[in-house]
A and B are shown apart, each in its own frame.
Chain A
Amino acid sequence: MTALDLAGRPSSVPPAAPATTGRHRRDLLPLGWLWFALGLLLCAGQVQWVLQAGYVTDTAADRWRTALLAASDASAFRDLFAITFPPLPLMADLLLGLLPGTGGVPLPVLVNVLAGAGLAAAWAGQIASGGYGRAVSGLAALLLLAHPALQQAIAAGDGTPLALLALTLMIPALIRVRRAGDVNAMALVGSALALMLFSAPSGAYLVLALLPALVALAPPSLMVRSVLGVLLVLLFPVLFTLGGYLYTNWIFGGSALAFAASVDAAIRGAAADLGRYPWLMLWSHDRPAGLAAVGLMLLGSVPLLPVAVARIHDRHARWTVLLLAASVLAAILIASVSRYLDHPGQMLPYLLPVLAMGAAAARPARLPASVLLLLLTLGLRGGWTAQDYAAAPAGAAWQAAMRGSVVAESAAAQDNAFGKLLRGYQDVAIDATVSGLVVPARGTAEGLLLTSTDRLKADLLAGALSSRYVAVQDPDTPRGLRDRIGRALAGVWRDGPPGATLVAAIGPWRLWRLPDRPSRP
């Protein structure tokens, strides 16, 4: 997308000479890397700061552990590959995990940091294409990246930054679709929707909210010919990937809806612990008040949005930006009502790509650079306040960590210690799927005998372990209740397997050493 495209050039005006465009792109390229590097520094710095304070969310721990497990064993990969939702972050974690030097680094956070850096570069490019100076564009992109809602999402280790990348790709394409029915743009929109759906649950909510908006955003000239045809072009990638995902669930998970168990568990888990979630307790049920609260948070967090929308001259771009913002709002409401969303701030980052494109479409003549930067700076402060309002535990912990408080939970510390202990042991039977931070703390799942392997499955059926060690959790803890080894071998935590000796006990964890056998497989 060129600057002129964003400015809503009438179609009769001949396109810019290719040489000029090429030169422009070449000029932007090194700066793109600069904004990427600065974005990387910003995100990495923030993440490092909160990690030092012990901020690791359950989501990040689960994702990290899942990636390590999937990378260690083919059968584990097959099981997790199918039933993990959303699957794209897992893919990204696995790919990054292949890189040397990533051992011990929280993979989900690393993925998010890289995604954040990518967002900075992409937004800087988009804003610059609207006619803003390079420095202003880069600064504006970094201010957008620094938004508390986004920084929290990056540190939280969920897939929101990946979904934001997809949305960042989608918005200019959507404007091109609206303006000219461009085929590539339609395919890009379709693909971006699929990426969003499988990047984060919040992305899935946004896709849901975008469905009616797509009808209004599609080019009228094509819609009058066939509404079904246009929607099919836009939605087929989502529908097909969804079908493909259900198919892999069926193949590897035994049921097309195998993934739903974990999604259901997450929602039920949040619902069971409602007392800790003021937003779910208060606002998600009181729709007018909830809506007002979201509106106020939105105004405070992104004051640029109404100004940019009012200043956009190109009607296609204005309509697109407006509908996208409304869709984010609708997604927040749907997610709140369905008790998925523990705080609107979790989905506020989806407004940031809309802002970047809105600013670009408004252009400096109608939205001066100084106003742009001022409103973005105000948004930082407003965003911080909004994040603090009716905050969920994870949000509150992140703010505390940002202020320098230690927020590490004791369970995490115990997992961490036990995981470090396990570094020196091989052939350890463990139900890693409910092991919290143990596997990440150990650094790898290599040397662990996982419940996904045929060997441990057979052992559990036979009621006798063939491994050298077994690690189990206290069955009286919530996680221990779900530990498959503990459930299959009653009393194993308390007494250990027959003839076993206790090697270590840290918090709820116990490590037993089994007696040597002459013919161990």
Chain B
Amino acid sequence: MTDMSLVPAPPAPPAPALAPALGDSQPAAGLSGGTRAGEDLPIGELPIGELPIGELLVARGLLRPDQLDKALALQRKWQVRFGDIVLSQGMVRPFDFYRTLAGRFGLDFVDLMRDRPDPTLARVEHREEYARLLLLPWRRQDGRIVVATADPGPAALAFAETAYGPDAQLVVTSKFDILWSLQRTFEKEYSHEAVYGLAEMDPENSARQVVTPQQGLFLYCCLSLLLGGLAFAPIGTLVTLNVVMAVFYLGNFLLKTVLVWFGANARLVDRKVTDAEVKALRDEDLPVFTVLVPMYKEPEVLPILAAALRRLDYPMAKLDIKLVLEAGDRETIDAAKSLGLEGTFEIIRVPASKPQTKPKACNYALNFARGDYLVIFDAEDQPEPDQLKKVVIAFEKAGDQVACVQCRLNYFNANENWLTRMFTLDYSLWFDYMLPGLEQLRIPIPLGGTSNHFRMDVLKKLRSWDPFNVTEDADLGVRMTQKGYRVAVCNSTTFEEANVSIPNWVRQRSRWIKGYMQTYLVHMRHPLNLYRSVGPGGFWGFQFFVGGTMLSGVLNPIFWSFYAFWLLVGGTFLDPLFPTALLYLSLFNLLAGNGLFTYLSIIAPVKRGWMSLAPWGLTVAGYWALMSVAAYKALWQLVRNPFYWEKTQHGLSAVTKQEVAKAMASMNQ
């Protein structure tokens, strides 16, 4: 207990319009510790407790009158609390705001960074309330519990009185201090829950166990059967295997053709949410949106994201933006600070623990999220400015069953080299055609890495992301469908940086394929349950879309090798493996399958009018070869190191450097 004396002031509830909001509250440099309300401020003679907070700020010289007018105008328009406005707009420093707020209510202001809370007072079972109400029991003083809060309203007082007795006392602190102290106090619990939350509560859906004993037995039986067959009836076994593969390829390309056909429907897909609908939205009706940006050692692309987030056409006061950084990632934390981002965005520092994966970081940050909806963006993402509004409309139109809206991803450096062109064709096909097709056919949608927008309540109910799955997004999309929810897609694009380097691309792709393997194994633990929960279309769609995507990369080189060998050597040695009907099926697969997939790559850029990319689709076979390399790497890693997160290095692109420069320029303006 410090020797600081606190004047017990009657906690008069503030007027609702003046109730402080949950903006961001990083303390400024040189911040002093606990101070008496009004101390060092030239307002001794002002009638504290009567002036509205805005006028108090003006009177103290912390806010200009024109800023006050602007803030009040925004408040009327957005229908949010005044504090949210001035903090989100950067009109007032959080420290100044909260100190003034304390004075407004005659409460003391404490700096939890200097005068740390007594860790024995906080209760684990109250963690959620602490984060939601932005409060934390600070210290015991004169037999009473003093509760520090960044939102000294009736709710905080009621909670304090209920939890700590009717004589509990409030003091004011900044939001940053609350969140920071919460993380420090409950680091172990938050961390444990982030890692093991799903595995403990819903182990059947966790990839913590790569292969279940039953699956192991099944695989063992299959392998035994195969080896036995090869030993006693080699031709029959190989023909059977060949038939299975041929049917798999046929199903794979037929499904993808149907998906593209449905996904190409412009009226249903590309005009799902119109500009007119976006314009018709009223700011006051918009919900609070949490934006999570998990990053790791990516300081170089941070300006792109910061600029893009500031360009969002959404009331800043209704954005709860969190940069989710690893505690040891000093370079990114420092970069964020040097850009002044801590004034607008919250920085969540995730303590080190294994597995060190993006989903674990997101799970950790989720404890502090306060939005009705939540979206994940990557560090170099540039979402279209109206994306959040489109998503709100998409949710409204889709109904309660839809728990997630996936926006499209594409690249801002498409024309940089062959790989970026092919990657762009790949993403265009995936997000512009196939995912909309999956949505229309009610097949589980494996979510893409970013720009997936969730309903917060459902996300938390489903125990959020699986930290043991390296494509946690894909897994979550399938899990949502299994649990009776749906995933929708939306016609808004987030632009990212396409990989410019092949080794970097292989690392990234191998992680994705490994994640698909994990996802497939998790959801195929009980095939009958999957069948019942997603229906026959969803079940077979899952087999061919998720299973097919990973398996084709593994199988292709085998068939290419056979084919190349046959072309070179000729002869009839393969004839026994291809009875007449199978021969024609295989020939059809060879011609129609390759032709079709090449054609899909050619038409992929048409929706966006990027016709100059279409001819590059002819070279897609080279891209398939790279995918096979990644698939084998993924298979190897699944066995050796299933939870290892292959980090994708961003910022390598020359275009990205230009984008960073542009972003820096826009931020300086």
Binding site for B on A (CB under 8 A): 15, 74, 77-78, 81, 180-184, 186-187, 190, 221-222, 225-226, 228-230, 232-233, 236-237, 240-241, 244, 247-248, 251
Q: What are 27 inter-chain pairs, A to B, with CB distance below 8 A?
A: A74-B580, A81-B584, A182-B266, A183-B264, A183-B433, A183-B603, A183-B607, A184-B261, A222-B606, A225-B610, A225-B611, A226-B615, A228-B614, A228-B615, A229-B613, A230-B614, A232-B602, A232-B615, A232-B617, A233-B614, A236-B602, A240-B595, A240-B598, A240-B599, A241-B595, A248-B587, A251-B587
The reply to whether A222 and B611 form a contact with Cβ atoms under 8 Å apart is: yes
The reply to whether A226 and B612 form a contact with Cβ atoms under 8 Å apart is: yes
Nearest-CB residue, chain B, relative to A74: B580
Binding site for A on B (CB under 8 A): 261, 264-267, 433, 580, 584, 587, 591-592, 595, 598-599, 602-603, 605-607, 609-615, 617-618
Docked CA distance A124–B614 (Å):
36
A-B pairs, top 6 by smallest CB distance, nearest first, are A229-B611, A229-B614, A226-B611, A244-B591, A240-B595, A226-B612
Q: How distant is A369 from chain B, measured CB to nearest CB, in Å? A: 30
Residues of B near A241 (CB, < 8 A) are 595
The reply to whether B609 and A233 form a contact with Cβ atoms under 8 Å apart is: no
Nearest-CB residue, chain A, relative to B268: A18
Docked CA distance A221–B592 (Å):
30
The reply to whether B265 and A225 form a contact with Cβ atoms under 8 Å apart is: no
Docked CA distance A250–B589 (Å):
17
Residues of B near A182 (CB, < 8 A) are 264, 266
Nearest-CB residue, chain B, relative to A241: B595
Residues of B near A180 (CB, < 8 A) are 266
The reply to whether B612 and A183 form a contact with Cβ atoms under 8 Å apart is: no
Q: How distant is B78 from chain A, measured CB to nearest CB, in Å? A: 30
Nearest-CB residue, chain B, relative to A78: B580
Residues of A near B611 (CB, < 8 A) are 222, 225-226, 229-230, 233
Nearest-CB residue, chain B, relative to A180: B266
Nearest-CB residue, chain B, relative to A248: B587
Q: How distant is A234 from chain B, measured CB to nearest CB, in Å? A: 10
Q: How distant is A173 from chain B, measured CB to nearest CB, in Å? A: 12
Q: How distant is B578 from chain A, measured CB to nearest CB, in Å? A: 12
Q: How distant is A270 from chain B, measured CB to nearest CB, in Å? A: 32
Residues of A near B618 (CB, < 8 A) are 232
Nearest-CB residue, chain B, relative to A251: B587
Given contacts A226-B615, A233-B606, A241-B595, 16 further A-B contacts (CB under 8 A): A182-B264, A183-B606, A187-B599, A190-B599, A226-B611, A226-B614, A228-B615, A229-B612, A229-B614, A230-B614, A233-B614, A236-B599, A237-B599, A244-B591, A248-B587, A248-B591
Q: How distant is A277 from chain B, measured CB to nearest CB, in Å? A: 37
Docked CA distance A180–B264 (Å):
13
Nearest-CB residue, chain A, relative to B267: A15
Nearest-CB residue, chain B, relative to A244: B591
Residues of A near B261 (CB, < 8 A) are 184, 187
Docked CA distance A181–B603 (Å):
11
Task: Determine the main DSSP class of A at the interface with B.
Answer: helix
Nearest-CB residue, chain B, relative to A221: B609
Residues of A near B264 (CB, < 8 A) are 182-184, 187
The reply to whether A186 and B603 form a contact with Cβ atoms under 8 Å apart is: yes
Residues of A near B603 (CB, < 8 A) are 183, 186-187, 233
Docked CA distance A240–B593 (Å):
11
Nearest-CB residue, chain B, relative to A185: B264
The reply to whether A186 and B598 form a contact with Cβ atoms under 8 Å apart is: no
Docked CA distance A15–B584 (Å):
44
Docked CA distance A226–B433 (Å):
21
Residues of A near B609 (CB, < 8 A) are 181, 221-222, 225
Q: How distant is A181 from chain B, measured CB to nearest CB, in Å? A: 7
Residue in B595, B610, B617 with the greatest tally of chain A CB atoms within 10 Å:
B595
Q: How distant is A136 from chain B, measured CB to nearest CB, in Å? A: 28
Q: How distant is A6 from chain B, measured CB to nearest CB, in Å? A: 16
Docked CA distance A232–B615 (Å):
7
Nearest-CB residue, chain A, relative to B605: A229
Docked CA distance A45–B599 (Å):
42
Q: How distant is A221 from chain B, measured CB to nearest CB, in Å? A: 7
Residues of A near B613 (CB, < 8 A) are 229
Nearest-CB residue, chain A, relative to B581: A74
Residues of A near B602 (CB, < 8 A) are 232-233, 236
Docked CA distance A182–B613 (Å):
17
Docked CA distance A225–B587 (Å):
36
Q: How distant is A1 from chain B, measured CB to nearest CB, in Å? A: 12
Nearest-CB residue, chain B, relative to A15: B267
Docked CA distance A237–B592 (Å):
10
The reply to whether A225 and B612 form a contact with Cβ atoms under 8 Å apart is: yes
The reply to whether B614 and A184 form a contact with Cβ atoms under 8 Å apart is: no
The reply to whether B615 and A186 form a contact with Cβ atoms under 8 Å apart is: no
Q: How distant is A17 from chain B, measured CB to nearest CB, in Å? A: 11
Residues of B near A230 (CB, < 8 A) are 611, 614
Q: How distant is A519 from chain B, measured CB to nearest CB, in Å? A: 28
Residues of B near A74 (CB, < 8 A) are 580
Q: A180-B266, A222-B611, A229-B613 are in contact. Are A244 and B595 (CB under 8 A)?
A: yes
Residue in A187, A228, A229, A233 with the greatest tally of chain B CB atoms within 10 Å:
A229
Docked CA distance A336–B620 (Å):
41
Residues of B near A233 (CB, < 8 A) are 602-603, 606, 611, 614
Residues of B near A181 (CB, < 8 A) are 606, 609
The reply to whether B615 and A229 form a contact with Cβ atoms under 8 Å apart is: yes
Docked CA distance A375–B605 (Å):
44
Residues of B near A251 (CB, < 8 A) are 587
Docked CA distance A510–B380 (Å):
83
Residue in B610, B614, B615 with the greatest tally of chain A CB atoms within 10 Å:
B614
Residues of A near B610 (CB, < 8 A) are 225
Nearest-CB residue, chain B, relative to A240: B595
Q: A230-B611, A233-B602 are in contact. Are A184 and B265 (CB under 8 A)?
A: yes
Docked CA distance A248–B592 (Å):
12
Q: How distant is B262 from chain A, measured CB to nearest CB, in Å? A: 9
Q: Tell me which of B265, B592, B614 contacts A232 (CB under 8 A).
A: B614
Docked CA distance A248–B261 (Å):
28
Docked CA distance A271–B599 (Å):
40
Docked CA distance A152–B606 (Å):
41
Nearest-CB residue, chain B, relative to A75: B580
Q: How distant is B649 from chain A, measured CB to nearest CB, in Å? A: 31
Docked CA distance A81–B580 (Å):
12
Q: How distant is A225 from chain B, measured CB to nearest CB, in Å? A: 4
Q: How distant is B585 from chain A, measured CB to nearest CB, in Å? A: 13
Q: How distant is A178 from chain B, measured CB to nearest CB, in Å? A: 14
The reply to whether B606 and A236 form a contact with Cβ atoms under 8 Å apart is: no
Docked CA distance A187–B609 (Å):
15
Nearest-CB residue, chain B, relative to A187: B603
Q: How distant is A326 from chain B, measured CB to nearest CB, in Å? A: 26
Nearest-CB residue, chain B, relative to A247: B591
Residues of B near A228 (CB, < 8 A) are 614-615
Residue in A77, A232, A241 with the greatest tally of chain B CB atoms within 10 Å:
A232
Docked CA distance A233–B599 (Å):
8
Docked CA distance A237–B265 (Å):
20
Q: How distant is B278 from chain A, measured CB to nearest CB, in Å? A: 15
Residues of A near B598 (CB, < 8 A) are 236, 240
Q: How distant is B533 from chain A, measured CB to nearest CB, in Å? A: 28
Docked CA distance A192–B606 (Å):
19
Nearest-CB residue, chain A, relative to B580: A74
Q: How distant is A189 from chain B, measured CB to nearest CB, in Å? A: 11
Residues of B near A232 (CB, < 8 A) are 602, 614-615, 617-618
Q: How distant is A378 from chain B, measured CB to nearest CB, in Å? A: 39
Docked CA distance A68–B518 (Å):
51
Residues of A near B614 (CB, < 8 A) are 226, 228-230, 232-233
Q: How distant is B426 from chain A, measured CB to nearest CB, in Å? A: 16
Q: How distant is B275 from chain A, measured CB to nearest CB, in Å? A: 12
Q: How distant is B273 from chain A, measured CB to nearest CB, in Å? A: 14
Q: How distant is A204 from chain B, measured CB to nearest CB, in Å? A: 19
Nearest-CB residue, chain A, relative to B610: A225
Residues of B near A81 (CB, < 8 A) are 584
Docked CA distance A248–B588 (Å):
10
Docked CA distance A130–B587 (Å):
42
